Amino acid sequence: MERLDKILVSQGVGSRSEVQKLIKKKNVAVDGEIVTKPDYKVEPENAEIKVAGQALSFKKHLYIMMNKPAGVVSATKDSRDKTVLDILPDKLRRKNLAPVGRLDKDTEGLMIISDDGEFAHRVLSPKKHIYKKYYAELNGKLTEKMIESFKNGITLKDGTRFLPAELTILSENSAYVEIREGKFHQVKKMFSSQGLSVTYLKRVKIGGLSLDSNLHIGECRELTDYEKQTIFIGI
């Protein structure tokens, strides 16, 4: 059982003060009865809640897939740049949303956003070994030798060690890379150790979840229950 005003805030209906005004002005009904007290207790999963005559589809948590654009940062707040939360459509905005992991500012592609902390922990936990797949374009020629270097794991001159990764060459200057870590600028640093610079980088897969090819840059949508499960396939 939760307070009615808290439920409405969690579903993105408005701020605490805004939903309290809605309730007091008789704009909210629970199971067909008008409720005027913000602290009225409701079991949201089993009650029919209507706001201004419109049924509220209660969701305990929200899971969003975004095709992140370059120039947008993976953060909840930033004083200089737009964040992934800033570009969410109004219908998907709600309290406590946060990016699950991060992508560099200039990297595009698959980003998951959620308000489910336990889910985020499962996705990011090093113990889960969830692979992330990237498409990369380089400023030079890729070689078979680099495949072996990635496969064996790369150690940088400063001692930073990257776990074994899979490099699949697509053309002389483009490839897929699969890593199971998320160290700062990892893909770029791995290629840099081979004398190459990344000119374009896009994340296309997390675990078994692929970026929806119908999502244009900057667009997003809710994940299905099946898609959430595919992230952890094989773990």
| Residues marked as catalytic | 104
Q: Please name the residue ranges forming H helices in 86-161.
A: 117-124, 144-152
d(CA 55, CA 155): 56
Tokens of 104: 């560099």
Residue appearing with tokens 């201004």: 52
CA dihedral 152, 157, 160, 165 (to 10 degrees): -30
Tokens of 52: 């201004």
How many angstroms separate the Cα of 152 from the Cα of each of 126, 132, 207? Answer: 19, 18, 21
Tokens of 2: 């939760």
Tokens of 65: 């897939």
- Residue 132: strand, helix, or coil: strand
- Residue 198: strand, helix, or coil: strand
